[in-house]
Amino acid sequence: MHTALRWLGRWLALLLLCGLSLQIVFLLSIFSLRLWQPPSTSFQRSAVWEKLRQAASATAADAASMPVWRHQPVASAQIADHARKAVIASEDNHFFTHSGVDWQAVQRAWREGEAGGRVRGGSTITQQLAKNLYLSRERNLLRKGQELALTWMLEAALDKPRILDLYLNHVEWGDALYGIEAAAQHYFAIPAQRLSARQAAQLAVLLPQPRALGRQLSGQLRGQPSAQPSGRGGGRYVQQRARVIEQRMAAMR
């Protein structure tokens, strides 16, 4: 009995040591983000693996029609301020005042869920960045706990403008489309530095569902609006939501 307890204690100590070591690795990686842009994120690598699996089982015609991977991080000076305002207005109104988690948004999402309404995500920009950079797409309590730890590390190690620029450079904006520069080039054929307020607002609309809404925006820009009248899947949703975001942007300092 005593031997079993002793072995159990050793295994628990080993697990604790491994967990602490992993957090140190994460923290060192986050501090390095002060100086450089990571070439890829965990979400991007998962998406690449998914595309490779699809290509392996696809016909030659289907493989040829798969989208080309696009990702081009740029310096802060090469991102229009409209893009920053649009993302904050759409995703995280309290970005500059919270410490990584917007508890008001979490409570609001909880109340909406209990009321049976459509729930808006309560994740902040920092939380989304933590997930994109380091975590898998799985959803469980252990992953959520790691997400919170990474969020606090990001907030402690980096300033808000750096967190926002990292987010803009690595978040998904469409199928195989990552980073604000690639998005601006793909949808509007201009660099991210030249995005107008309207264009930035349209891009910000895509973030909750970048692949589906990205196809909708592409169709509208080509003069092929969806036949569906309204709602998130409808043809007018992107433009209606973009107008709301643009109004919020105008009210920001």
Output the domain CATH number for residue 90. 1.10.3810.10
Which token pair is 253?
A: 């300092």
| Average pLDDT for 16-37 | 90
> Is there a domain that residue 156 lies in?
yes
Let me know if residue 161 belongs to a domain: yes
| Domains contained in the chain, number | 1
pLDDT band at 89 (very low <50, low <70, confident <90, very high): very high
Residue 100's region, left for phi above 0, alpha for psi from -120 to 50, else beta, is left
Q: Is residue 48 in a domain?
A: no
- In eight-state DSSP terms, residue 193 is G
Q: Is residue 153 part of a domain?
A: yes
Whether residue 40 lies inside any domain: the answer is no
Domain presence at residue 204 = yes
The pTM of this model reads 0.85
Tell me the average pLDDT across 164-181.
96
- Residue 129: inside a domain: yes
Give one word for 189, left, alpha or beta, with left for phi > 0 and alpha for psi -120 to 50. left
| Cβ(43)–Cβ(143) below 8 Å | no
| Domain that residue 167 falls in | 69-251
φ, ψ for residue 195, nearest 5 deg:
-65, 135
